[in-house]
Amino acid sequence: VTQSRADEGSDLRQAIQQLVVANRILAHEGVLDVFGHVSMRHPERNDRYLLACSRSPELVTADDILEFDLESNALDDRGLTLYSERPIHGCIYQARADVKAVCHNHAHSLLPFGITGVPLKPVFHVAAAIGYEVPTWEIRDEFGDATTLLVTDNDRGHSLAKALGLGTTCLMRGHGSVAAAGDLRRVVYIAITLMQNAAILSESLRMGAVNYLSPGEVEQLRQRVLAPRSLDRAWDYWCERAGFPTRPAVENQRS
Amino acid sequence: VTQSRADEGSDLRQAIQQLVVANRILAHEGVLDVFGHVSMRHPERNDRYLLACSRSPELVTADDILEFDLESNALDDRGLTLYSERPIHGCIYQARADVKAVCHNHAHSLLPFGITGVPLKPVFHVAAAIGYEVPTWEIRDEFGDATTLLVTDNDRGHSLAKALGLGTTCLMRGHGSVAAAGDLRRVVYIAITLMQNAAILSESLRMGAVNYLSPGEVEQLRQRVLAPRSLDRAWDYWCERAGFPTRPAVENQRS
Amino acid sequence: VTQSRADEGSDLRQAIQQLVVANRILAHEGVLDVFGHVSMRHPERNDRYLLACSRSPELVTADDILEFDLESNALDDRGLTLYSERPIHGCIYQARADVKAVCHNHAHSLLPFGITGVPLKPVFHVAAAIGYEVPTWEIRDEFGDATTLLVTDNDRGHSLAKALGLGTTCLMRGHGSVAAAGDLRRVVYIAITLMQNAAILSESLRMGAVNYLSPGEVEQLRQRVLAPRSLDRAWDYWCERAGFPTRPAVENQRS
Amino acid sequence: VTQSRADEGSDLRQAIQQLVVANRILAHEGVLDVFGHVSMRHPERNDRYLLACSRSPELVTADDILEFDLESNALDDRGLTLYSERPIHGCIYQARADVKAVCHNHAHSLLPFGITGVPLKPVFHVAAAIGYEVPTWEIRDEFGDATTLLVTDNDRGHSLAKALGLGTTCLMRGHGSVAAAGDLRRVVYIAITLMQNAAILSESLRMGAVNYLSPGEVEQLRQRVLAPRSLDRAWDYWCERAGFPTRPAVENQRS
């Protein structure tokens, strides 16, 4: 955090730092690579969100985080290039007052589901967080078959937000996915789990008839896997792996 | 090992240190990630076991290890959050006097077997340690189809222990697996091998008719692969990889 | 850069340094391993190209970069061993005035397409850069079925360049691929994306009916994904991963 | 190299050091893990070979290398535990005067071929070194279906050597493989390539009808890919990756 932010409130500074860590975690775990991004709603103003300038998440630092209104205009772009797909974030924040964080990613294991139309549903307990079934947004339905696939304006953003509906995840055919949740740590959890569930389901589908989680199991699990005791454990682990240790180094006997 | 443990016997201190190493090995080899855990029976009291507080195995240190009775009550929880699925451990130790160590994990390669019901049997020699065939515990059989899948009480723990029977491994549908053995190093070996055999069998099933190990081969191999000469070699290797070198550094010519 | 190059223009020195970085990036991302190579056209002379001596790309340094004419003769080989397949580069530069950089690689995920003849087409947005469909060069068609498969002379090089045609990518059955583009960063992008698209398409083909990018989508995307805003982001990311950081270290809070 | 070896000839010392590096390379590339081993014929005595004591290859140092006669008796075991499967090496050296190095491994990608009986043949150019087709040794044919699968005596060793015949590679059902060649670097190359070809062929078989290398192509390529120019490049690369740099560090611009 540089001097230029010395006048900002500590809530905002903490939020920015947490968003940097979320960027690094999602990059380290393979959810984000060159492309994709993660945002959070402004901690003090519901009509704004925080998102990095156009930078690969692995490289994002606190100085890259900018503020946007819900039309996805930068309050002050400081001359930086912006992600062209920021309407994904703004339109979901507009549509969903309960959503405080959004991740757009192209994790490789989930792309085949959007490409083939095979339903993506949770098959192991921690993946209940993704919902009963992940819908797919087909940009061709509303915008024709000669688009860039990209969500570069608010019309496309509203269309995607509608496909997401009241859920937490949505696939985008030939492109990627979005995850949305009530706080940043939950979005990180959901995005990582969505990727893992896709890989496990792909393998299961090749092997035989798949026994998905039942509706009752998803119902029982979806709150539980996102409860603080689960998130705390996960967050500490992902922070450590991404180079942001949360525990005293002296306790670690490794050479 | 901190001063607070200065009054403990050296057997216990060594056991705790070995359990820390087992946590790190299983995390490093990909058996455990955010979730999953490994325990050992108390070296001096058969009615107790040692298990970390609620922490990802990659981060576990000696100060995290707590003692539990076989009903899975902590003797002194020191105010720490506990793994909710510790009844897995307590109930297996109750049912099996021969078992001195237990690992519960969700290694991704083995999940499709529980999800599809395809039999998981050893196909290469080192995997004879997993037994002739790995049974699957279906929580729905006894507890219905609207559970959390989790083994959060002793009723579920006893049910799982029954499915494990006299064997060393058991799958849990949509959730993971358990491994149980006569000492900690054997459990580490079995858990890693179970994961590897699942991946190799998955690939083989896609390729053609599978030639499993014969009953006679499993019989000949299961003791041999868990003999000290095999375990010693494996343990040194896994320790080195997990950051706990067992050989003098001066012998290693690497830069 | 050593003294022996002190008399060279700064454009050439910069080009050589960028080519070294491209070698390292392609090695780090798994496109190149022991074998494969990447070249660029000389920045000041269209009748020459720059390519390393016979060295794995992971190990290439500025002192390894040599100049070749378009017949693939080294201007000064300094006694170094040369890549035997350098005619790939020379013949493509001869045939295509628009091409300023070429990569020949054997990335594992794309080999099955050449081996089986299954069409390789883009299925996710960033892969539009590979073209509508990737042709396959079958050396047997012109040179019989008892060759080394290698492009070790200009006859084979011209044949391959003809199969590439006006496109950006071409498979070589049982051997690998080539990528060609208007500058070095684009070739790096295309080679990495070709490899990724092959893996995602393989997985999709196993899952069900594949919904490829439409011709209109490829048309809209192919220039956009290779635009500077996309390339800048990608290049910074790949440089960082390959050990050539492009951003101030002080901004990175990682330990 | 310790003082205890000060009286040995420099050829032997160099051979031992090269064997240590081969152990580390094969471990780093994933050919060897806990188990598996690589040996070389004694550089000065055709009736002896060099092999480590019972140690995972990743951990092998010069002090671990022992001499064996071709009956696989240690000349001086220095009280160390020995690999139980050393007859693999002794029996192949007995049967094949041309063989100077042998690797026994259980690389995961090749196991499904032995397990299912699907033919393993080269599909990409660098894999011509494995031969036209890799035979499979089935221990049951001669020793019944209740063995350990292990080659723990010379009877089994001779049987395996017979299955290898005049070739360079042989699969062992449910167990692994052997590679044998005229020098240590060639064996390293063949073992790595066998593993890679297995993975690429597996993927190709799932995709469609496979176009294998033709007999003429294998014939043209098998010497070429093992020629010094190819081996030199590969060896430098693998050494670098395994932590034995062969080039001056000052040339490497990486941070």
Q: Give the pLDDT confidence of C175-214 residue by residue, as tens digits.
A: 999 999 999 999 999 999 999 999 999 999 999 999 999 9
Report pLDDT for C8. 58
Do A213 and B84 make contact, defined as CB atoms within 8 angstroms? no
Query: How close, in Å, is residue A30 to chain B by CA atoms?
Result: 15
Residues of chain C with Cβ-Cβ distance to A206 below 8 Å are: 206
Mean pLDDT of chain A: 94
Report pLDDT for C2. 43
Q: Is B249 on the interface with D (CB under 8 A)?
A: no
Q: Is B152 on the interface with A (CB under 8 A)?
A: no
Which residue has tokens 């087409």?
C121
Report pLDDT for D38. 98
Report pLDDT for A249. 55
Do B55 and A123 make contact, defined as CB atoms within 8 angstroms? no
Residue B249: band (very low, low, confident or very high) from pLDDT cuts 50, 70, 90 = low
Residue B3 has pLDDT above 50, yes or no: no
**Residue D197 carries which DSSP code?**
H
Angle, helices C184-207 vs A184-207, to 10°: value is: 60
Q: Where are the beta strands (DSSP E) in A111-156?
A: 136-137
Q: Are A104 and A85 in contact (CB under 8 A)?
A: yes
Distance CA A32, CA A94 (A): 24
Q: What is the token pair recorded at D169?
A: 């590679």
Active site residues of A: 85
pTM for the model stands at: 0.95
Residue B202 has pLDDT above 60, yes or no: yes
Distance CA B34, CA B126 (A): 27
Q: Out of A87-91, B9-13, B233-237, B247-251, which region has the weakest mean confidence (pLDDT)? A: B247-251
Query: Number of Cβ pairs closer than 8 Å across A and B?
Result: 116
Do B236 and D84 make contact, defined as CB atoms within 8 angstroms? no
Residue D2 has pLDDT above 50, yes or no: no
Q: Is B210 on the interface with D (CB under 8 A)?
A: yes
Distance CA B208, CA D118 (A): 7
Report pLDDT for A3. 41
Which is more confident, C249 or C111? C111
Residue C6 has pLDDT above 90, yes or no: no
Report pLDDT for C248. 67
Query: How close, in Å, is residue B49 to chain D by CA atoms?
Result: 29
Query: Number of Cβ pairs closer than 8 Å across A and C?
Result: 116
Q: What is the token pair recorded at D21?
A: 């590096």
Q: Is B210 on the interface with A (CB under 8 A)?
A: no
Q: Are D86 and D157 in contact (CB under 8 A)?
A: no
Interval A71-96: pLDDT, tens = 999 999 999 999 999 999 999 999 99
Do C58 and D241 make contact, defined as CB atoms within 8 angstroms? yes
Q: What are phi and psi of C163, to 5 degrees?
A: -65, -35
Q: What are phi and psi of C58, to 5 degrees?
A: -60, -25
Q: What is the percentage of chain D residues whose pLDDT exceeds 90?
A: 92
Do B61 and A229 make contact, defined as CB atoms within 8 angstroms? no
Residues of chain C with Cβ-Cβ distance to D233 below 8 Å are: 34-35, 54-56
Residue D57's closest chain B neighbor by CA?
B237
Q: Out of B238-252, C161-175, D49-63, which region has the weakest mean confidence (pLDDT)? A: B238-252
Q: Find the mean pLDDT for residues C41-66.
A: 97
Beta strands A136-137 and C136-137 are: unpaired
Query: How close, in Å, is residue A229 to chain C by CA atoms?
Result: 25
Question: Closest by alpha carbon to B105, among B172, B185, B50, B168?
Answer: B172
Report pLDDT for C249. 55
Which is more confident, C249 or D50? D50
Query: How close, in Å, is residue B51 to chain D by CA atoms?
Result: 27
Q: Out of A156-170, C58-72, D161-175, D234-248, which region has the weakest mean confidence (pLDDT)? A: D234-248
Beta strands B37-41 and A169-172 are: unpaired
Q: Is A251 on the interface with B (CB under 8 A)?
A: yes
| Long-range CB contact pairs, B48-53, < 8 A, 24+ | B48/B75, B49/B89, B49/B90, B49/B93, B49/B102, B50/B15, B50/B16, B50/B19, B51/B83, B51/B86, B51/B89, B52/B19, B52/B23, B52/B83, B53/B77, B53/B78, B53/B80, B53/B81, B53/B82, B53/B83
Residue A9 has pLDDT above 60, yes or no: yes
Q: Find the mean pLDDT for residues C24-50.
A: 98
Q: Where are the beta strands (DSSP E) in C29-168?
A: 37-41, 48-52, 65-69, 101-105, 136-137
Q: What is the percentage of chain D residues whose pLDDT exceeds 70?
A: 94
Residue B7 has pLDDT above 60, yes or no: no
Report pLDDT for C7. 54
Report pLDDT for D53. 98
Residue C255 has pLDDT above 80, yes or no: no
Catalytic residue from among B85, B133, B138, B219: B85
Going from the C-alpha of D34 to that of each of B30, B153, B218, B240, the distances in angstroms are 15, 37, 20, 11
Pick from A54, A84, A115: which is nearest to C210 by CB? A115
Question: Closest by alpha carbon to A172, among A186, A191, A151?
Answer: A151
Judge whether B85 counts as a catalytic residue: yes
Pick from C35, C56, C173: which is nearest to D236 by CB? C56
Residue B19 has pLDDT above 60, yes or no: yes
Residue D201 has pLDDT above 60, yes or no: yes
Do D174 and B233 make contact, defined as CB atoms within 8 angstroms? no
Residue D191 has pLDDT above 90, yes or no: yes
Residue A246: band (very low, low, confident or very high) from pLDDT cuts 50, 70, 90 = confident
Q: 3-state class of C91 per DSSP?
A: helix
Q: Find the mean pLDDT for residues B32-41.
A: 98
Residues of chain A with Cβ-Cβ distance to B148 below 8 Å are: 125, 217, 220-221, 224
ipTM of the modeled complex: 0.94
Q: Is C116 on the interface with D (CB under 8 A)?
A: yes
Residue B24's closest chain A neighbor by CA?
A254
Q: Is B29 on the interface with D (CB under 8 A)?
A: no
Query: How close, in Å, is residue A168 to chain C by CA atoms?
Result: 22
Q: Is D235 on the interface with C (CB under 8 A)?
A: no
Residues of chain D with Cβ-Cβ distance to C34 below 8 Å are: 126, 233-234, 237-238
Residues of chain B with Cβ-Cβ distance to A213 below 8 Å are: 149, 174
Chains sharing 3 or more CB pairs under 8 A with chain C = A, D
Mean pLDDT of chain B: 94
Q: What is the token pair recorded at B211?
A: 């030639």
Residue D109: band (very low, low, confident or very high) from pLDDT cuts 50, 70, 90 = very high
Q: In sequence order, what are the beta bridge partners of D180?
A: D102
Residue C253 has pLDDT above 70, yes or no: no
Q: Is D84 on the interface with B (CB under 8 A)?
A: yes
